[in-house]
């Protein structure tokens, strides 16, 4: 679906050059929800503007459905852009137009007849959950409702790709989850390819199939979301993963747990995918004469399966504890001893 080859964008700042995107190679499959995560200045916003042709690369190519949009110009480029829609952090709605008029706007520009426009708007209003709010103005809507309008408007011309530029950053956590659920539903119903940029790992964890981590204009880590959660390689990726696992990993938490559970071993387990559904602890207790207390636990679901963490206190003879930990590793459970007796 999307192929980026040696994509590079260099800006002239007047005081020198700035490489915003540095020789990026990415392949995004049809129907995939692909996340791009990075801190401010990582180059992710420039990358997404290169994807929809708003910026021209200094070198390299962008291909969407085998069409090289970096070489397209004029009418050909405008047609290519119609296949790629975008939603924004701050909605970018027309404040003097109602919900249905905002959704209808790109259809007007495309010259779609009025009757067809109205039928399409009705479909989209229902799809994004705004039935009954068609005649409201943006000032009368909540943040989540405004973003639903933005999503409906982006879908008006039946694009093949939906780009999401920090689309939930201005929303509260509950509304963010509702919008992310809507994007997943749209992806499944329409088979739409979604490319989402964010600085929040919660967003990546909740809806993305794969993720690219950007730093300094480069993609420094790329992989399946579950794999990245299980074994982040780069320090920046570890910091992002800590956004959603911090309560188990923070220094203060570990220190507090050591004080509460001074004997035995404190062991952190990470369960990935099907492991989260297996009776690992039951097997452990049956096979080893140790006492196991569940200290803390959490399970989250990604598009590829479950991701869970569990902190145990294991008490018993040292050799039995060692055997129990070895058993967990044999069962392919990622295990980390957090504290010693």
pLDDT in tens, 140-175: 999 999 999 999 999 999 999 999 999 998 899 999
Whether 187 and 289 share a structural domain? no
Q: What does the block give as tokens for 261?
A: 């559970």
Mapped onto helix, strand or coil, the DSSP state of residue 209 is coil
Whether 28 and 83 share a structural domain? yes
Residue 180 confidence (pLDDT): 95
Mapped onto helix, strand or coil, the DSSP state of residue 216 is coil
Whether 139 and 284 share a structural domain? no
Whether 227 and 295 share a structural domain? no
Question: 306 vs 29, which has greater pLDDT?
Answer: 29
Q: 274 falls in which pLDDT band (50, 70, 90)?
A: low
- Across the range 33-43, mean pLDDT stands at 94
What secondary structure, in 3-state letters, does 39-84 show? Answer: CCCCCHHHHHHHHCCCCCCCEEEEEECCEECCCCCHHHHHHHHHCE
Query: Is residue 202 scored above 50 in pLDDT?
Result: yes
Q: Give me the CATH number covering residue 308.
A: 3.30.70.260
* CA distances (Å), origin 278, targets 146, 225, 308, 325: 42, 21, 12, 17
Edge-to-edge strand order for the sheet containing 210-215? Answer: 84-88, 161-165, 193-198, 33-37, 210-215, 218-224
Q: Give me the CATH number covering residue 238.
A: 3.40.50.300
Q: What does the block give as tokens for 128?
A: 């994004």
The maximal CA–CA distance of the chain, rounded, in angstroms, is 79
Q: Are 104 and 121 in contact (CB under 8 A)?
A: yes
Whether 260 and 134 share a structural domain? no
Mean pLDDT (the chain) is 88
Residue 269 structural domain: 250-339
* Phi and psi angles of residue 255, each rounded to the nearest 5 degrees, phi first: -60, -45
Whether 19 and 162 share a structural domain? yes
Q: 298 falls in which pLDDT band (50, 70, 90)?
A: confident
- Across the range 277-297, mean pLDDT stands at 85
- Across the range 57-76, mean pLDDT stands at 86
Tens digit of pLDDT for each residue in 223-270?
Answer: 999 888 878 899 999 889 877 765 545 566 667 777 777 888 888 887
Residue 253 confidence (pLDDT): 66
CA distance 293 to 305: 26
Query: Is residue 340 scored above 70 in pLDDT?
Result: no
Whether 213 and 282 share a structural domain? no
Query: Is residue 139 scored above 50 in pLDDT?
Result: yes
Whether 136 and 273 share a structural domain? no
Tens digit of pLDDT for each residue in 314-323?
Answer: 999 999 999 9
Query: Is residue 62 scored above 90 in pLDDT?
Result: yes
Across the chain, how many H-helices and E-strands are there? 12, 14
Whether 172 and 254 share a structural domain? no
Domain boundary pick from 243, 267, 286: 243
Residue 185 confidence (pLDDT): 95
Residue 341 confidence (pLDDT): 42
Domain boundary pick from 173, 208, 243: 243
Query: Is residue 276 scored above 60 in pLDDT?
Result: no
Q: What does the block give as tokens for 316?
A: 């018993």
Whether 47 and 138 share a structural domain? yes
Tens digit of pLDDT for each residue in 83-98?
Answer: 899 998 888 899 999 9
Residue 77 confidence (pLDDT): 74
Q: Are 24 and 74 in contact (CB under 8 A)?
A: no
Q: Are 7 and 60 in contact (CB under 8 A)?
A: yes
Query: Is residue 275 scored above 70 in pLDDT?
Result: no
Q: Are 22 and 8 in contact (CB under 8 A)?
A: yes
Q: Look up tokens 């480069």; give the residue.
A: 218
Domain boundary pick from 226, 243, 260: 243
- Across the range 74-80, mean pLDDT stands at 77
Q: What does the block give as tokens for 282?
A: 């039951």
What total number of domains does the chain contain?
Answer: 2
Whether 69 and 179 share a structural domain? yes
Mapped onto helix, strand or coil, the DSSP state of residue 211 is strand
Query: Is residue 277 scored above 70 in pLDDT?
Result: no
Whether 172 and 84 share a structural domain? yes
Residue 281 confidence (pLDDT): 85
């Amino acid at each position: 679906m999307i192929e980026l080859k040696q994509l590079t964008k260099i800006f002239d700042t007047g005081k020198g050059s700035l490489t915003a995107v540095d020789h990026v190679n990415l392949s995004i499959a049809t129907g995939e929800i692909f996340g791009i995560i990075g801190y401010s200045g990582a180059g992710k916003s420039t990358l997404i503007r290169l994807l929809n042709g708003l910026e021209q690369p200094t070198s390299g190519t962008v291909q969407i459905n085998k069409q090289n949009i970096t070489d397209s110009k004029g009418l050909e480029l405008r047609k290519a852009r119609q296949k790629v829609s975008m939603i924004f952090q701050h909605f970018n709605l027309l404040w003097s137009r109602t919900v249905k008029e905002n959704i209808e706007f790109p259809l007007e520009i495309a010259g779609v007849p009025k009757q067809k426009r109205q039928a399409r708007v009705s479909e989209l209003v229902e799809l994004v959950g705004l039935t009954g709010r068609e005649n409201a103005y943006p000032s009368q809507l909540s943040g989540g409702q405004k973003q639903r309008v933005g999503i409906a408007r982006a879908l008006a011309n039946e694009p093949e790709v939906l780009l999401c530029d920090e689309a939930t950053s201005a929303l509260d956590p509950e509304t963010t989850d509702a919008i992310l659920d809507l994007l997943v539903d749209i992806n499944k119903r329409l088979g739409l390819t979604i490319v989402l940029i964010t600085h929040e790992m919660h967003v990546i964890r909740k809806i993305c199939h794969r993720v690219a981590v950007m730093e300094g204009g480069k993609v420094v880590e790329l992989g399946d979301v579950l794999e990245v959660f299980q074994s982040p390689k780069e320090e920046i990726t570890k910091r992002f993963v800590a956004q959603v696992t911090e309560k188990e990993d923070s220094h203060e938490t570990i220190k507090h747990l050591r004080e509460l559970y001074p004997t035995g071993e404190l062991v952190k387990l990470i369960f990935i995918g099907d492991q989260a559904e297996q009776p690992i602890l039951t097997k452990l207790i049956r096979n080893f004469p140790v006492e196991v207390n569940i200290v803390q636990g959490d399970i989250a679901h990604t598009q590829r399966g479950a991701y869970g963490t569990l902190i145990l206190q294991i008490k018993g003879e040292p050799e039995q504890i060692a055997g129990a930990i070895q058993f967990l590793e044999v069962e392919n459970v990622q295990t980390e001893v957090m504290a010693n007796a």
